[in-house]
């Protein structure tokens, strides 16, 4: 009852009350079940150092890194690092998360979107070179699920653009589109256009994603392009809308909160004044 009450208080923006509620219930809740609401309350209260300590303590208590909770906890630590300007810490944690996923071939297909999210963020924060050998390790999976193969094609394209330029991604882009991964295909094209300095084409590719999906990074990137083109009003409107989208608190969709999603954390930073 108190767990649900804390979520309701968070949804109403009553963060101090939510923290008091969940801390009052922590003694009789199953271990770990209070972490999400407590972390969200601390984040919104601006108690970031305390939140960092809470997450570190949870990781120490978890111990068994085979526990699926280790993956979610790791993603929270990544997001917090991004949100508090600790990019190098975030990169190290992202690489740990990739290793955690690679070590679980039986679960890897269900983790495909997390793999893509981790890879996108690594490239965007300047760690494409660190991602490249990790992708090679995923490519050695046997059998290789089709979704993971497509994810690696997309991320490999982003790495190629970042490290060597956009000259060799046409085949990857076409393959992704043919496989029905229009979002990844368009994001790859947008990255190529950005590298070439072709803002209008980049905006068109990003707009294709924005119109078809709720991808936060695409919206943040489109706002950047609009601002660079001098379209300040349109950029501000897009960022204001993105901020509202990111802060919608849905108890059944907590994984979409920026504290629990590295890519949405990075998008949140783009909305800051």
For residue range 191-228, what is the model confidence (pLDDT) as tens digits? 999 999 999 999 999 999 999 999 999 999 999 999 99
Q: What is the average pLDDT across 257-262?
A: 96
Domain 107-270, CATH class in plain words: mainly alpha
Average pLDDT of every residue of the chain = 94
DSSP 226-270: HHHTT-HHHHHHHHHHHHHHHT---GGGGGGSGGG-HHHHHHHHH
pLDDT band at 66; cut points 50, 70, 90:
low
Q: Per-domain residue ranges for the chain?
A: 107-270
Q: Produce one character per residue of 232-250: b if its CB has 16 or more CB atoms within 10 Å, e if not.
A: eeebeebbeebeeebeebe
Angle between the N-to-C axes of helices 182-196 and 216-228, in degrees from 0 to 180, rounded to the nearest 10 = 30
Has residue 40 got a pLDDT over 70? Answer: yes
Which of 42, 40, 35, 51 lies closest to 11 in space, CA to CA?
40
**Any idea which of 66-70, 128-132, 193-197 has the lowest mean pLDDT?**
66-70
């Amino acid at each position: 009852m108190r767990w649900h009450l804390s979520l309701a208080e968070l949804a109403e923006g009553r963060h101090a009350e939510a923290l008091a509620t969940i801390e009052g219930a922590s003694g009789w809740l199953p271990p770990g079940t209070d972490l999400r609401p407590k972390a969200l309350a601390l984040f919104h209260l601006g108690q970031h150092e305390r939140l960092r300590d809470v997450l570190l303590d949870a990781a120490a208590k978890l111990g068994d890194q085979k526990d699926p909770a280790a993956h979610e906890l790791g993603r929270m630590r990544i997001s917090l690092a991004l949100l508090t300007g600790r990019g190098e810490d975030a990169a190290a944690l992202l690489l740990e998360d990739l290793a955690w996923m690679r070590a679980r071939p039986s679960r890897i297909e269900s983790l495909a979107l997390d793999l893509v999210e981790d890879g996108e963020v690594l490239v965007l924060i300047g760690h494409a070179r660190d991602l490249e050998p990790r992708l090679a390790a995923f490519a050695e999976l046997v059998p290789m699920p089709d979704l993971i193969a497509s994810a690696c094609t997309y991320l490999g394209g982003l790495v190629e653009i970042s490290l060597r330029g956009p000259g060799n991604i046409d085949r990857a882009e076409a393959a992704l589109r043919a496989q029905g991964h229009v979002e990844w295909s368009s994001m790859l094209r947008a990255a190529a256009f950005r590298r070439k300095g072709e803002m209008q084409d980049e905006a068109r590719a990003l707009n294709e994603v924005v119109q078809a999906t709720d991808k936060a990074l695409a919206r943040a990137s489109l706002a950047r392009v609009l601002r660079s083109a001098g379209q300040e009003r349109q950029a501000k409107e897009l960022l204001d809308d993105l901020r509202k989208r990111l802060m919608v608190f849905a108890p059944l969709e907590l994984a979409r909160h920026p504290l629990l999603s590295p890519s949405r954390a990075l998008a949140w930073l783009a909305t800051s004044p």
